[in-house]
Amino acid sequence: MTQFDPGTTALVVVDMQRDFCHPDGALYAPGSETVVEPCTQLASTAHDADVRVVYTRDVHPPEQFEGNHSYDEFERWGEHVLEGSWGAELCDALPVADDDHVVEKHSYDAFHETELDAWLSTRGIDTLLFCGTLANVCVLHTAASAGLRDYRVVLVEDAIGALEEGHREYAADHVEWLVGERTTTEGVGFA
């Protein structure tokens, strides 16, 4: 088990939202639903250890991709996590505390045009544990972006949702090869 310093570590829970994790969601993936419980457990463990918890929410205004040349998530995936919709809300089971930080993002990368980097750095956070969904999309792009900002990046791979098992393995291999580490929920401790 790796012991992470509660004062310099944050748990980043990526996009655990109804549209991705609930059977009635616009982009429901059973692999996302299966990690609701491990993400909930990690967040509860983090709270108990006074570790900061960050939740990302992928949110798209209906007109976000109008006029775009190549980056159009609605064309690729269909409309999802629309601003103000039921599907854009975090999963009900997640233990979101009043002092947790919720980052609203509009792309795969939670650092892109958000306040996340400033929020973390002003609190002395240098290590980020990642869980959430989807492995090879928002988790991968956010983790890689964190690595490029010189955070210690750790994927908690059994708490990361994927469309296919190979996607999770690809994302974990890619992050480990380029910018970070991987562990499991049982391998995470705080001291």
- Tens-digit pLDDT profile for residues 48-101: 999 999 999 999 887 777 777 787 787 777 788 989 999 999 999 999 999 999
d(CA 4, CA 24): 37
Q: What is the pLDDT of residue 72?
A: 78
Residue 64: per-residue pLDDT: 76
Question: Quick one: DSSP state of residue 16?
Answer: -
- The CATH number of the structural domain formed by 2-190 is 3.40.50.850
Q: Is 34 exposed, middle or buried (0-12, 13-18, 19+ CB in 10 A)?
A: middle
Q: Which among 145, 148, 127, 126 is positioned nearest to 137, based on CA atoms?
A: 145
Q: Is the pLDDT of residue 47 over 80?
A: yes
The answer to whether the CB of 77 falls within 8 A of the CB of 60 is no
Report residue 179's pLDDT band, with 50, 70 and 90 as the boundaries: very high
Res. 22: pLDDT tops 90: yes
Distance CA 181, CA 152 (A): 8
| % of the chain with per-residue pLDDT over 70 | 100
pLDDT of residue 74: 76
Mean pLDDT of the chain: 95
Residue range 136-160: average pLDDT?
Answer: 98
Are the beta carbons of 2 and 188 closer than 8 angstroms? yes
> What pLDDT was estimated at residue 165?
85
pTM for the full predicted model: 0.94
In this structure, the number of other CB atoms found within 10 A of the CB of residue 44 comes to: 14
Three-state SS at 142: helix
